[in-house]
A and B are shown apart, each in its own frame.
Chain A
Amino acid sequence: MNVFRYIWQNQGQVLELTLEHLRLVGFSTLFAMLAGIPLGIVIARRPRWNKPVLASANIIQTIPSLALFGFLLPVPWLGERSERLAILALTLYALLPIIRNTYTGIRGVDPAVVEAGRGMGLTESQLLFQVELPLAVSVILSGVRVAVVISVGLATIAAAIGAGGLGEFIFRGLAMVDNRVILAGAIPAAVLALTADFGVGWLERRMQTR
């Protein structure tokens, strides 16, 4: 097929854009985990904050991605470099599955186990780090997996604001009305998504405790 010939002929650029894409997805997932896991832990401890936090993350998800990129564009420090902006937007989208799964994972720990731990004299942080998080880790990772797959897809749109990534091929192909060029972006993106899905899924099963 000539799609693959096209990819082969432009392999340098495909590789470069794939790496850019990975950077966008990697950083945004990392930041979403750094923010989302603690938030999930907090709302698991204080159910009163559960609704507002999850609702906010939910609302972010409903904003169309192009619109979100547009909204963030005038923000001073962010707007200077479109890559920063794309990472922030992708981070916001990745928050919901991570917060929700952290919450679900921790709430899902057998209450008898938590009660026994508390009754034996574990401190709250010992309970969290030695019992609750290890038991919730596979559920949390399945949230990360969803977040990564969403991000790989959404990151293609980041090209619209000049943040690079495999979306460049897609937008270029759309402008040129050339399917080969579109697919040169779409196929590597799909491969990335599948690989990430499989990789995190593997980690998730490895971490399964029961």
Chain B
Amino acid sequence: MLGGMQATTAIPEIEFQDVSYRVAGTQVLSGFNLQVQSGETLVLLGRSGSGKTTLLKLVNRLLTPSSGDIRVKGLSNAKADVIGLRRSIGYVIQDVGLFPHFTVERNIGLVPRIGGWPEDRIRARVQELLQLVGLAADLASRYPHQLSGGQRQRVGVARALAADPEILLMDEPFGALDPLTRDELQREFLALQQRLHKTVVFVTHDLREALRLGTRIALMEAGRLVTVLTPREFLQSSDPLASAYVRAFGEGLESAANRGTS
């Protein structure tokens, strides 16, 4: 929980070492190096097809790199037990992927349940998480199709947090939401992150979101890392791609950057 305080430890929470990923003759990632520090929110920013999602899936080994190594807490994840690795990492995707035949309670409690937690502890944990993500306790018995898009993604976040993982991978989690709900969830994410200090890798193509939520922003293009900058640095960057992003998003970015780092 105090991950943010332990920035002095030299071992990064997640480390990409010269990672390449190739599939069916297409080079999706090449020579990718990046370190994610404990307790930070690292945003992967880039256009569609730049390799952001692939990078995320390499962390929990939904994909295996063609070459290079990914270390989680200093351990190569090629050597880790895949199932255990995945259970120790929260995963949130844009389409949420709630189990339609499970109630909210069973969706959120799934990882604790397969991890063998006792029933009463699971129930207590589910209630705690519903509160944490701003959902009413009586939603626990509903099914996903009875929820709004925003509620569904809140459940998705609660489910990812269920077994209290230190790392959270979020793949455009708010991308499919309407602007108001997105704004609400972004604000809640910031509040949540101030309490929990998870190590978050967050994929988006929305610069405003990146500036607002990110501790640092890793800018990607065509499977390569262009640069890693803090939100403030990003706005002043002379990097052509970064400044192209800033121009494309126009006015009012300053306030987003300030909110994110405050």
Partners in one complex: yes
Q: Could you tell me which A residues sit within 8 Å of B by CB distance?
A: 110, 112-123, 126, 131, 134-135, 209-210
- Chain B interface size, as a band, is 20 to 34
Q: Could you say which of B60, B85, B114 contacts A122, with CB atoms under 8 Å apart? A: B114
A110 to B95, CA, bound (A): 10
Residue of A nearest to B160 (CB): A120
Q: Which residues of A contact B60 (CB under 8 A)?
A: 119
Q: Could you tell me which B residues sit within 8 Å of A by CB distance?
A: 57, 60, 62, 83-88, 91, 93, 95-101, 110-111, 114, 145, 156, 159-160, 169
By the criterion CB–CB under 8 Å, are A121 and B86 in contact?
yes
Q: Which residues of B contact A210 (CB under 8 A)?
A: 100-101, 145
A115 to B93, CA, bound (A): 9
Given contacts A120-B111, A210-B145, contact A115 B86 (CB under 8 A): no
A209 to B106, CA, bound (A): 15
- Which label, helix, strand, loop or mixed, suits the secondary structure of the A interface? helix
* Those 10 A-B pairs whose CB atoms lie nearest each other, nearest first: A116-B97, A121-B86, A121-B87, A112-B95, A119-B91, A112-B97, A209-B101, A113-B97, A121-B83, A134-B101
A210 to B62, CA, bound (A): 27
Given contacts A120-B110, A120-B111, contact A113 B100 (CB under 8 A): yes
By the criterion CB–CB under 8 Å, are B99 and A113 in contact?
yes
Q: Which residues of A contact B114 (CB under 8 A)?
A: 121-122, 126
A114 to B98, CA, bound (A): 9
Residue of A nearest to B111 (CB): A120
16 interchain pairs, CB-CB under 8 A: A110-B100, A114-B97, A115-B93, A116-B93, A117-B99, A119-B91, A120-B91, A120-B110, A120-B159, A121-B88, A121-B111, A121-B114, A122-B110, A122-B114, A210-B101, A210-B145
Q: Which residues of B contact A209 (CB under 8 A)?
A: 100-101
Q: Which residues of A contact B87 (CB under 8 A)?
A: 120-121
A132 to B97, CA, bound (A): 13
A184 to B84, CA, bound (A): 63
By the criterion CB–CB under 8 Å, are B83 and A116 in contact?
no
A116 to B100, CA, bound (A): 12
